[in-house]
């Protein structure tokens, strides 16, 4: 009997150690779960180094209305889509960016909000006397400058264009057009005008030709996002218009977007 109690006395410190270890395991599991829960509900908005502020602020307002936690990171445009396309359903990091609305992107990402519609066109110098009235007439001119990383480049290739001069920056298109190394530049009017002003080139010396494509931008979110987050963002997309907040942001950036008064 005495031996039995001595054995119990011997086991008590060991049991206490087990209890302490067990409590630490529970605490660690809770902290990991809490961290994963936070990560799973925190979204990273990725933007290029010089984003259009209008698009970014509409996205941020959608996050605000939907009460979505987010942080912003800056990456080169090709890297943004490389990161987003590499995300799978098991990843804890949720990413978002403003993307072109097309079938490929809709298959890859959630569409959580309409950002803007942009009309594209062929722009040329007035003194070149070019008359670009259709895609076929555009195919007959010597060279058309287009941004290498844009969906517009892919669009023109899909239309059978073989006279494209792709460049890595928008500024190169502006300079090439004014140095007459290319005959036309394909982009949206707001982008063309903004780039020309930034390079201190004469906006009045260009003319707008045929406009073959309207581009819609949307707030793309990777498909590992919780359904609840997506639903809240989609509801926010309706609220931002119903409350007039979208028009308020649009008015704020009307000059930057070169929209009519």
Which of 61, 78, 79 shows the shortest CA–CA distance to 70? 61
- Report d(CA 82, CA 94) in Å as an integer: 14
Please tell me the predicted confidence (pLDDT) of residue 100: 85
Core vs surface per residue 49-80: b (16+ CB within 10 A) or e: eebbebbbebbebbbebbebebeeeebebeeb
User: pLDDT-based confidence at 192, cuts 50/70/90?
Assistant: very high
Please tell me the predicted confidence (pLDDT) of residue 45: 97
Average pLDDT, the chain: 85
Core vs surface per residue 161-182: b (16+ CB within 10 A) or e: beebbbbeebebbbbbbbeeeb
Is the model's pLDDT at 62 over the cut of 60? yes
Q: Do domains 39-102+222-252 and 118-214 have the same CATH topology?
A: yes
- Report d(CA 249, CA 59) in Å as an integer: 11
Higher pLDDT, 13 or 115: 115
- Report d(CA 258, CA 231) in Å as an integer: 33
Higher pLDDT, 155 or 141: 141
Ramachandran bin of 133, using left for φ above 0, alpha for ψ from -120 to 50, beta for the remaining angles: alpha
Q: Is it true that domain 118-214 has CATH number 3.40.50.1970? A: no
Is the model's pLDDT at 185 over the cut of 60? yes
| Ranges 28-32, 51-55, 91-95, 236-240: which has the least confidence | 28-32
User: pLDDT-based confidence at 150, cuts 50/70/90?
Assistant: confident
The percent of residues in the chain predicted with pLDDT above 90, rounded, is 58
How do residues 63-121 score in pLDDT, each as one tens digit?
A: 999 999 999 999 987 899 899 999 998 888 999 999 888 888 899 999 999 998 888 99
* Beta carbons within 8 Å of 177's beta carbon, 6+ residues apart: 123, 124, 125, 145, 184, 185, 206
Please tell me the predicted confidence (pLDDT) of residue 228: 96
pTM to 2 decimal places:
0.67
Phi, psi for residue 155 in degrees, rounded to 5: -65, -45
Helix pair angle (245-252, 53-65), 10° resolution = 160
Which of 58, 43, 48 shows the shortest CA–CA distance to 240? 58
Q: What residue segments make up the domains of the chain, in order of their start?
A: 1-38, 39-102+222-252, 118-214
Please tell me the predicted confidence (pLDDT) of residue 39: 47
Please tell me the predicted confidence (pLDDT) of residue 250: 87
Higher pLDDT, 15 or 199: 199
Higher pLDDT, 51 or 241: 241
- Report d(CA 95, CA 84) in Å as an integer: 6
Fold for 39-102+222-252, please state it.
D-Maltodextrin-Binding Protein; domain 2 (3.40.190)
Tell me if residue 120 falls in helix, strand or coil.
strand
User: pLDDT-based confidence at 33, cuts 50/70/90?
Assistant: low
User: pLDDT-based confidence at 24, cuts 50/70/90?
Assistant: low
């Amino acid at each position: 009997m005495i031996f039995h109690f001595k054995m119990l006395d011997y086991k008590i410190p060991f049991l206490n150690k087990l209890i302490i270890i067990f409590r630490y395991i529970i605490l660690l599991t809770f902290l990991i779960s809490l961290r994963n829960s936070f990560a799973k509900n925190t979204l990273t908005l990725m933007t290029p180094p010089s984003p259009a502020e209008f698009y970014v602020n509409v996205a941020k307002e959608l996050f605000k209305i939907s009460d979505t936690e987010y942080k912003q990171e800056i990456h080169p445009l090709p890297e943004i889509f490389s990161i987003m396309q590499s995300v799978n359903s098991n990843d804890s990091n949720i990413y978002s960016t403003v993307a072109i609305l097309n079938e490929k992107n809709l298959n890859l990402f959630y569409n959580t909000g309409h950002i803007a519609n942009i009309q594209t066109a062929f722009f040329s110098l007035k003194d070149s006397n070019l008359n670009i009235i259709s895609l076929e007439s555009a195919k007959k001119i010597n060279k058309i400058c287009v941004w290498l990383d844009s969906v517009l480049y892919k669009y023109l290739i899909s239309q059978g264009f073989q006279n494209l001069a792709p460049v890595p920056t928008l500024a190169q298109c502006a300079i090439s057009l004014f140095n007459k190394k290319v005959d036309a530049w394909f982009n949206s009017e707001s982008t063309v005008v903004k780039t020309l002003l930034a390079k201190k080139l004469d906006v009045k010396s260009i003319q707008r030709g045929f406009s073959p494509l309207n581009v819609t931008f949307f707030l793309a979110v990777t498909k590992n996002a919780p359904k609840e987050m997506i639903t809240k963002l989609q509801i926010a997309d309706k609220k931002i218009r119903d409350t007039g907040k979208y028009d308020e942001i649009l008015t704020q950036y009307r000059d930057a977007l070169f929209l009519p008064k």
